[in-house]
Structure 1
Amino acid sequence: MHPHAAVADHALDDPPSTDIEGARRLATAVVDNLNRVIRGKPEALRLAVAAVLSGGHLLIEDVPGHGKTLLAKALARSVGGTFRRIQATPDLLPSELTGVSVFHKASETWEFRPGPLFANVVLTDEVNRATPRSQSAVLEAMEERQVSVDGTSHPLPNPFVLIATQNPFDHAGTFPLLEGQRDRFALVLELGHPGRDAERDLLLGLGGVDALVGLPTVTDPASLGRAIAVVRRVHCAPAVADYIIDIGAATRAHRDVRLGASPRAALALLHAAQATAMMAGRHFVVPDDVKALAAPVLAHRLMLNGGSDAVAGRAVVRQVVESVAVPRA
């Protein structure tokens, strides 16, 4: 049986080949641009771009010095539009994120002054140093693409992408992300230590901060928004949708899992798989797209019986994927 047989019944409203090709070129341009800064991590860069094109948000977890902030900045510069950086600290107030209403006594009117969340790309550095109260302030922004201040809703720019970084091994003065906030990140990635060749390039000034200085913008918010719309039209056959559902159900049934994948997690896995399919030049999702993305999309959402742990979470997801039958027809 051909491995793509399960996705043969394409819908009538699949995106035209020209739309797929245009979105694929945009994705390739962004990945190639990121490669100029972050050397030796092509798969991580593709995952980062897939997260953005899926319409989701990205959490980068790693130890200091591996390029978390650098990747976020390079991604923001690559896609253009407005960019704001938030350095999370324990004394960061929710209003410093969302904005405030200011009363003008002379005119007796209120003026809303937007906070740093009002940008196309927002980098929240060391997000787990913010208090749960401040972390909660971004939940509405991440899910609804708006913030509410003094009873009034204010829409955020479109597209809106939040990229957060954290060091998972530094627990002093930190506040673990709330389950609801972790669930709102499309996927989590780690960069890890660069290979020898990539580290040599860094020492010789090829890549890294030096490359970021002259990094060009390769797209714009409007084009990115159109590419995200194309991704959402990438076809998913019923058999592949059932495969995603089965994987989610298997996480909830796993003996080591206290809280498994939610329907939001299943949607995130679908959208990331659609983005990956588009980046491969296809207008349909195949099971391999789902398998490749299951760990980065699902692992951080699981609550394990012994406490949540990124390594253990990924191991559980890998076990689940191996146990679920792959659709073939």
Structure 2
Amino acid sequence: MDVSGNGHPAPTSAVEQVLYEVKKTIVGQDALLERLMVALLSRGHILVEGVPGLAKTLAVKALAAAIGGQFHRVQFTPDLVPADIVGTRVYHQASGEFQVSLGPVFTNLLLADEINRAPAKVQSALLETMQEQQVTIGRETHHIPRPFLVMATQNPIESEGTYPLPEAQVDRFMMKVLVGYPSPTEEFVIVERAIAPAPVTQAIVDPERLIRMQAQVEQVYVDPSLIEYSVRLANATRNPAEVGLGDLARYVSFGASPRASINLVLAGRALAFLRGRDYVIAPDLAELAHDVLRHRLVLSYEALSDEVTADMLLTQVLAAVPAPVPTGTR
């Protein structure tokens, strides 16, 4: 195991140990766990879509324990109000003064379960906190603890009693990850672990160590050609005819915003760091493209009628936009 000068595990080794520790509890969600680490290291947030019972809550809880951070879960319901998320001022009769009661958003990892079940006012309160990393209650501004990650979930099989996230708000999430069912072999292991005593997740790093790792991720080198590649991918969703995909234009009402290009590069740096490199390569961006772009496409009614999904369109865009050829590493 590599060890840095201060006696801590080297960054990549520390990340691998965190994932190994979480996988003692979680089975078969490797892609989700990796994307959670990418979001943590690049200071982003994740929207997860999957049916109930796929260990989404357990994954975030185990990750919080492995990084020695706080974990809060909020079940979003139609009667929720913003104060239930961010906190409020409470009057204490004995002292005759108002005191601030901070909400569950003041944590390191927050699970916003079924975010689309709460009205827009509550969704906006959370998304503003994600963007600004602070909350103003009365005349006082309170900063959210660092590191801070929001994982919001949506149930794809129910629409009754839901308030879909507006496109402008969905755009605030760095990635949207689709979680599927486990394989029969994985499900066997899941059941086996469920009937055995639950393992205790050990803290591998602490929040301060993770913050230093985030700073190291910011030093990962991104070649200008890769920035250009991310911009071309995002632009191809807005103007598919420019990459020879004019027939796709009827399926896309609005393409990805510039925030998509930014987040693709930021996530690419974190993925390169996870893979033990101090430079980004084109496959890093291509691997993350679906997760970063899929929720940023606004599809037309024609796409809905033809059963065309965002992932289908992105697969064609990735094939049409040539990746830069590496000329050597730094």
Q: TM above 0.5, one fold?
A: yes
Alignment correspondent of 2:208: 222
Aligned CA RMSD, in angstroms, stands at 2.4
The answer as to whether partners of 1:182 and 1:300 remain within 8 angstroms in 2 is yes
User: Which of 5, 29, 32 is 2:20 aligned to?
Assistant: 32
Q: Which moved more, 1:249-258 or 1:286-295?
A: 249-258
Deviations 1:158-197 (A, max 9, x none): 1111111121121111111122321111112123111121
Distance 2:182 2:202 in 1: 23
Q: How does 1:129-278 map to 2 (within 5 A)?
A: 129-205=117-193, 213-254=199-240, 255=249, 256-278=251-273
User: Which of 291, 298, 302 is 1:303 aligned to?
Assistant: 298
Q: Does 1:98 align with 2:86?
A: yes
Matched residues, percent identical?
38
Cα distance change on mapping 1:102 and 1:311 into 2, 3 Å:
farther
Distance 2:68 2:25 in 1: 16
Alignment correspondent of 2:321: 324
Question: Which amino acid in 1 is paired with 2:298?
Answer: M
Cα distance change on mapping 1:160 and 1:44 into 2, 3 Å:
closer
TM-score using structure 2 length: 0.87
Q: Which moved more, 1:301-310 or 1:150-159?
A: 301-310
Alignment correspondent of 2:33: 45
Distance 1:122 1:191 in 2: 18
Distance 1:263 1:209 in 2: 47
The answer as to whether partners of 2:40 and 2:148 remain within 8 angstroms in 1 is no
Distance 1:210 1:125 in 2: 26
DSSP-derived class of the 1:202 partner: helix
Equivalences, count: 311
Distance 1:257 1:73 in 2: 37
Deviations 1:67-98 (A, max 9, x none): 22222222222222222111111001101111
Question: Which amino acid in 1 is paired with 2:252?
Answer: V
Question: Which amino acid in 1 is paired with 2:166?
Answer: L
DSSP-derived class of the 1:204 partner: helix
Distance 2:99 2:286 in 1: 49
Q: List runs of 5+ in structure 2 lacking aligned partners.
A: 241-248
Q: Which moved more, 1:210-219 or 1:190-199?
A: 210-219
The answer as to whether partners of 1:69 and 1:165 remain within 8 angstroms in 2 is no
The structure, 1 or 2, with the larger RCO (C-alpha pairs under 8 Å, 6+ apart) is 1
The answer as to whether partners of 1:70 and 1:209 remain within 8 angstroms in 2 is no
Distance 1:209 1:95 in 2: 39
Question: Which amino acid in 2 is paired with 1:312?
Answer: T
Cα distance change on mapping 1:134 and 1:231 into 2, 3 Å:
same
